[in-house]
Amino acid sequence: MRKELEKLLEENQGTIVAEVIQEALDSRFENPIQFFEDLFQHGCQSGMISSLIRYTDTHKFYDKYYNEIEDIRYELQEE
């Protein structure tokens, strides 16, 4: 799993996908699958993503990835 994530990280530099993959690889979990299971179950509000705890951090993240976030929102809205 790690090798696949590292390959995806390399292919998606500078994107929101890369941010999520990097969090998974840097997490306290040996197995990235456990990271994603916890993230899906508890969300960012649980504090497991330390770089997104404060409002100023989430605001910077949103500004940095605004276009990607809006694309995702639009796709979900269309579904």
Which candidate, 16, 31, 18, places its Cα nearest to that of 8? 18
Give the Cα separation of 66 and 72 in Å (integer): 10
Enumerate residues 6+ apart whose C-beta is below 8 A from 65: 15, 16, 19
Where in the chain are the domains? 2-78
Q: pLDDT tens for residues 38-60?
A: 999 998 888 888 888 899 999 99
Question: For residue range 55-76, what is the model confidence (pLDDT) as tens digits?
Answer: 999 999 999 999 999 999 999 9
pLDDT range class, residue 1, cuts 50, 70, 90? confident
Closest CA to 32 of 10, 53, 61, 6: 6
Which residues are CB-contacts of 67 (< 8 A; sequence separation ≥ 6)? none
